[in-house]
Structure 1
Amino acid sequence: MAVESAVHAGPGTDLSLVTGGAPAAVLLVDLTSRTVVHANPVAEQLAPGVALPVGLDRWSDAADLRDLDGAALSRTEHPLSRVARSLPVAGQAVSAARVSELGRRREPLWVVALPMVGAPVLADHALVAFLPLSRREAARAAADAAQAQAQVRDRAVLATGMSFTVADARAEDLPLVWVNPAFTAMTGYPLEEVVGRNCRFLQGAGTDPAAVAAVGRALAAGEEVTATLLNHREDGSAFWNQLTLSPVHGPDGELTHYVGIQTDVTARVAADAERDEALTAERRARAEAETARAQAEAARRDAEESRGRLELLAEATSRLAVTLDVAECRQRLLDLVVPALADWALLLGTDEQGGVEQVAARHRDPARAQDLQHYVVRWLAALAPGPVQRTLLGGAHARRISDYDAAERRQERESWVGDPSILQLSDALGAASVLLVTLPGRQGSDDVLALVRGPGRPRHTEDDLHVAVDLGRRAGLIIDNARLYGEQHRIAATLQNSLLPQLPAIPGVRAAARYRASESGARVGGDFYELIDLPGDAVGLAVGDVVGHDVMAAAAMGHLRGLLRASAWDTTGPAPEAVLDRVDRLLDGLGMATMATLAYARATPAPDGTWLLEHATAGHPPLLVRAPDGRVDTLDAVHGLMLGVQPTTRAGARRRLEPGSTVLAYTDGLVERRGEELSRGLARLARTLAEAPEDVEALCDHLLARLGDTDDDVAFVALRLGRP
């Protein structure tokens, strides 16, 4: 029996969002030591790899708790900070980072925290629950209303009828050790009357034994369970109780408690009337004939099929929208429709002219996968030329062929292919009913989805066609977005790489460089590197980062590279600090509104076989030098103002290097990490450089593999000095 209720705290704010049936993350916190001592499996997923007991701050960092926009929470508004101060949290919207095989995403949560006053053994503990919120925009409205009117927020949890209980899993019969005031308000039973008792005292004659048995089996297996039971208050009145029991484990993994989240899902005024109606309907159902039961069963099946179609559409949107890879998106679509709508399916990717460009296929029987691929190859080779939509659908957007295996269809099917023998392959795979739908894109190149059911299976209905059309519209838009993203990312990467130089071959030195763009769609950046064969035997080495991540930044980077090369290539051999000053003056004199950091070094061979390295920086991270013996030094003796602020006079430094030394210039994407001091990143880079191979190409691969996984662009160049 499905019962819904909603309590509103203000215009447009549905507080029933906090009482959803999805699994909640539950913590038991020791307030004296401010540590998390017990957690359920969902909480362990929020903070993976964290061993109990653990401090509240560390657990919060592992779960990456933030506000709904992903911004950091201050100590005053952080729910776990309030818990640490033994303050209750009546309800607060936050978000947590969840990592899965689909990637990293932020999920909105509603936090409730209550001190467990009066609980045996746990009186100095607090219960913290993180409940999933179904819609971010509604969650934001609830949070805004709660912030604007604290009293409304404090009433929100009680108004929803949501209560919390804690039972001892190590004691016989799972006795309750604590309930919150909302439980008392909902049931009429105070704390002192329920502690030590199993919560079955809420059950009555109308409680479904099968549901109770299912709950018992889950508890015996130590699993989370959600059920809706008909319970009774202390005064005897009935109410529908949506109950979620979650296992909570201690530091050694032992099951120690069950935390229950209970929600009154019926209106108190209508509870008795609904109960009487249900009892009357039951007596009437017992008196009905067997034919009525058959009709009810048929109606139930129809309802299940309808619900299944809606669930399929909802699942399609959620599963397809999480990837930006076209091939993966197509494969996920096939995984959804087989076997829900078909025994096997083909997804025909088309080009701009509507011809088949590629085909993805799936069969419900893995043993037939090879047969299906053989059919696809043969079918593509014999497919009639021209737009596939016109060939198969006659130009329409959807088509149902429920009599696909009829003899009358043979001539039409033969018109699709030049070799009629191919039809025998489809018949062998099983083809009795077919749905053909297009996946409309923005640019007119519609993919085509073919859904095939074999003999002995129900023929496709009009309802199936409607579902397939709706699914096709959604999938077409998502696949088109993924295709557009891929094209833009390729364009951005091509543009960025075209702006980076090919390193010249310079006698006496070996150089290698790497660039990796951040995974940010069509954005391009201003990171660059440069190696200049200077007049005489000198070598110029530079790396820079123009402020910004757009096409303008990339264009400014190209201009800056030109100014740098012009300023550095001079027969007088200007010092690096003079080169940077000249570039800065040119930016100012030419009216170029460009701000950038830049590091520049000039290496000159000496008669004694050593190298003189002169270097200067303009707001850029310092160069690193690895000596032949493997020692790594940071050249941080000079710190100049970044380019584009105002022309200034910078200082430079000089250093004598032995042959076999390696100089590394890099951008901040190689060292900076969010929330970390720069000194830690520099130390990490120095250690990694010390462990890297001597060959510069292998050295660059080593650095990129170890340190290239970052949200920012990465550019660096390594120069190994030989013997002059």
Structure 2
Amino acid sequence: MSTHSAMDDVSSITGEAPAAVLLVHLSERAVVHVNPVARQLAPDAVLPMTVDEWSDAAQLRDLEGAELSETEHPLSKVARSEPVVGQAVSAAQVSDLGRQREPLWVVALPMAGAPMLDDHALVVFLPLRDARAARAAMDAATEQADLRDRAVLATGLSFTVADARDEEFPLVWVNPAFTATTGYTLEESVGRNCRFLQGPASDPAVRERMRAALTAGEALTVTVLNYRKDGLAFWNQVSMSPVFGPEGDVTHYVGIQTDVTGRVAADRARDEALAAEQAARREAEEARHRAEEHRARLDLLADATHRLSGTLDSTECRRRLLELVVPRLADWAVVLTPGPRRQVAAASALHRDPARAPLLEEYLDGVRRTTLTGPLQELLLGGRPARRIADYQSEAVRAERSSWTAEDEVLTLSDDLGAASVLIVPLPGRHRDNDVMVLVREPGSTGHTDDDLGIAVDLGRRAGLLLDNARLYEEQHLIASALQRSLLPDLPQVAGLTVAARYHAGADGSDVGGDFYELIDGPGDGVALAIGDVMGHDVYAAAAMGHLKGLLRACAWDATLDTPAAVLSRVDELTAALGMSTMATVGYARLTREETGDWALTHSSAGHPPLLVRHPDGTVRYLDDTGGIPLGVAPELSRRDRSERLPAGSTVLAYTDGLVERRGEVLTTGLQRLADVVAAAPRDVHALCDHLLAELGDSQDDIALLAVHLGP
């Protein structure tokens, strides 16, 4: 069995807990010195005392729990100057060594040749990790062929004793295992401090720790790089324990030393493997992080497309864009829209901290007043590429920033808001850059990277096109609204009548269509009202409606056409004669005030929903249908009139089908709903119209309303 393997065996069965150490005077068979751990094994022992008394005080037993006999007692053996090459016992006391009946491994060696300790023996109780380990150790010792091999196993640990009363702590004894491990004989070791084992690569900090512990009289376990006599380095685990005499003073230091080079190498290999595993894990984590970032960017772009395309309002589109980039790409962000002469036509912003909103608004006020130069002007007007400014607060950039705007306040406020890293990104439309987005990260936040710039540019392209769509829609909406307003008349003031009208665009988003209303104060003593709906919901329907209204007005002024049916028939004939492929429903009525104060109403319909009358007592009824068909279907067919007498205080309501028709519902249901709402509506015609739109204006179709109150 090699010395190295023997030490490995002992190391495998003993733990790293502190050992109990005794110095036994052989001729007196007495324990004269103990270390603190041995004191805990026999706390009531008063030194010196016989080995048998100390054994009884420590309640030593064999592993089966039986009392140790005189001949088997390890302390008795050492008292007879017999070495104890390794024997398992157990101690009953609760101590630093562990719980009750903790197994111990006993090694005892006479210290022959030690100055002033020649008649002494060193006894060391090493803690075992469990009873099975102790049994394995016993089997390993007894199964060897001869005592020499068993002695090597037992003495595989190096033991040293140093004189603590000398400030240099010289060695007074070493066992043969120390010589086998270090190459230094007893004669070469005694009288010297253990520092002679250290060399050029020994850690000075460890040496200072050992020196401090020895000076303070404290126990210490360290692993230090030592050198053999032949210069070969090895890792030495040294456990130093103070040994106290009967007077309680530290008399010696016992060192238990183990060559742990193999374990250190294994630890290093394990650490290197662990480091490699951690590096691989970090690489995998970084790859996963990159994948997550890529997925987050794709999610951002998908979210941007979904959210920005969900509105045709450019202001709302800019607001949603800011909500997308803050805080994902910026702590705060600004979107600028160019105006004439290098001015900012519009500016909007968002900060991740709502408490900064007042300061941000103050900043925007300054931006709106400024004349732009520098990169913002280049991007707004010149189509330059995006720019990343990672060192926004550097001296070079601060000097450049002074030329960006004539408003010094703007630059000061941007510093107050916090700006360390900035991305300036164009939002290109189809033919030019319409807006610029500025993404800002504050000091303390992670600076923008090239990847951030790339995602911002990609997002800017998408946002620019969607903003361009919204801007184009708004321009078309403006034109359509102007066209619709030009086609809807200003109602004339007619004596005895109070009139209100409304036009409401349908939920399909079109603000222009073919619905119309008219109040014509024509020749004679009567007044005509008309309500109509040209097929379609676009500018073409609005244009056809304009032609139809012109014909209707002309026919209303023709004195030869003395009834509403005659007027509608004439309009139908003219649209056919002029080649107008117009199909429309129209309700037309003529009101005449009688001498009694009541009103005579004559009406005719070209397929339009019936007029509704609310009487002064609040009752509501529809006028009888005249059975006409829409204009543009069969102009040669004759039309009929019906006449009514309405008391003063009545209200006549004309409306288009958007107010009553709903998908999947029969018309009679919608008509009844309208009658119920009118019955509960205010009497003022303006309030009546507003009430109807509030209650029934959720239609997909356009709605035109004309309410006429008949006065006395």
Common fold by TM > 0.5: yes
Q: In the TM superposition, what are the counterparts of 1:40-51 in structure 2 within 5 Å? A: none
The equivalent residue for 2:319 is 331
Quote the offset at 1:575 in angstroms: 1.3
Using the alignment, how far apart are the partners of 2:543 and 2:380 within structure 1? 48
Contact 2:380 2:426 in 1 (8 A): no
Describe the shift of the 1:293–1:644 C-alpha distance in structure 2 as closer, same or farther (beyond 3 A). closer
Instruction: Measure, in 1, the Cα distance between the counterparts of 2:577 and 2:364.
Output: 65
Aligned to 1:575: 563
Among 577, 584, 589, which residue is 1:589 paired with? Answer: 577
- Give runs of ≥4 in structure 1 deviating > 4 Å: 284-288, 391-395
Pairwise mapping of residues 318-717 of structure 1 onto structure 2 (< 5 A)? 318-351=306-339, 355-384=343-372, 388-390=376-378, 395-420=383-408, 422-521=410-509, 524-571=512-559, 574-646=562-634, 647-717=636-706
- Name whichever of 662-671 and 376-385 sits farther off: 376-385
Partner of 1:211: none
Q: Deviations over 1:269-297 (max 9, x none)?
A: xxxxxxxxxxxxxxx99894433333333
Q: Displacement of 1:526 after TM fit? A: 1.1
CA 1:387–1:584 in 2, change beyond 3 Å: closer, same or farther? farther
2:665 alignment partner, SS class: coil
Q: Structure 1 residues 670 and 417, CA, compared in 2 at 3 Å: closer, same or farther? A: same
Residues 698/318 of structure 1: CA separation in 2 closer, same or farther (3 Å cut): same
Give the whole-Å Cα distance in 1 for the aligned partners of 2:535 and 2:366: 54
TM-score (norm 2): 0.59
Q: Is the 8 A contact 1:354 1:445 kept in 2?
A: no
2:284 aligns with 296
For residues 382 and 703 of structure 2, the distance between their equivalents in structure 1, rounded to whole angstroms, comes to: 51
SS at match of 2:436: strand
What CA distance in whole angstroms lies between the structure 1 residues aligned with 2:361 and 2:377?
21
Separation of aligned partners in 1, 2:672 and 2:370: 62
8 Å CA contact 1:355, 1:388 repeated in 2: no
Partner SS for 1:340: coil
Instruction: Tell me the amino acid that sits aligned with residue 692 of structure 1.
Output: A
> Deviations 1:331-376 (Å, cap 9, x if unpaired)?
1111111111111111112247764211111111111121122122
Q: Report the secondary structure of 1:553's partner residue.
A: helix
CA, structure 1 residues 591+308, in 2 after alignment: closer, same or farther (shift >3 Å)? Answer: closer
Is this contact kept in 1: 2:654–2:706, CA < 8 A? yes
Cα distance 1:405–1:598, how it changes in 2: closer, same or farther (>3 A)?
A: same
Question: How many angstroms does 1:676 deviate by?
Answer: 0.7
Instruction: Please say if residues 384 and 391 of structure 1, whose CA atoms lie closer than 8 Å, have aligned partners that are also in contact.
Output: no
Shift of 1:578: 1.5
Structure 2 segments unaligned to the other structure (5+ residues): 1-271
CA-CA distance at 1:537 after TM superposition: 2.1
Query: How far is the alpha carbon of 1:555 from its aligned partner?
Result: 1.8
Deviations 1:479-519 (A, max 9, x none): 11111112212221221121111110001111111111224
Q: Could you say which structure has the larger radius of gyration?
A: 2
Could you tell me how far 1:589 is from its partner in structure 2? 2.5
Deviation at 1:559, TM superposition (A): 1.6
Return the alpha-carbon distance in structure 1 between the equivalents of residues 530 and 657 of structure 2. Answer: 14
Distance apart, 1:661 and its partner CA: 0.8
Q: 1:552 to 1:321 in 2, by over 3 A?
A: closer
Distance 2:398 2:376 in 1: 19
Q: Is the 8 A contact 1:353 1:445 kept in 2?
A: no
Query: Which residue matches 1:115?
Result: none
Using structure 1 for the length normalisation, give the TM-score: 0.58
Describe the SS at the equivalent of 2:348: strand
> What percentage of residue pairs aligned between the two structures are identical?
60
C-alpha RMSD over aligned residues: 2.3
Deviation at 1:305, TM superposition (A): 2.4
Aligned partners of 1:391 and 1:416 also within 8 Å: no
- 1:521 is displaced (CA, Å) by 4.6
Following the alignment from structure 1 to structure 2, what is the Cα–Cα distance between the partners of residues 557 and 369? 49
- Bigger drift between 699-708 and 549-558 goes to 549-558
In structure 2, the residue matched to 1:75 is none
Partner of 1:250: none
2:614–2:679 CA contact under 8 A, matched in 1: yes
Deviation larger for 442-451 or 420-429: 420-429
Per-residue deviation, 1:384: 3.1
Decide whether aligned partners of structure 1 residues 637 and 346 sit closer, same or farther in structure 2, where only a CA change above 3 A counts. Answer: closer
Deviations 1:125-165 (A, max 9, x none): xxxxxxxxxxxxxxxxxxxxxxxxxxxxxxxxxxxxxxxxx
Q: Alpha carbons of 1:409 and 1:385: their partners in 2 closer, same or farther (altered >3 Å)?
A: closer
CA contact (8 A) 1:618 1:641 kept: yes
| In structure 1, distance between residues paired with 2:525 and 2:660 | 32
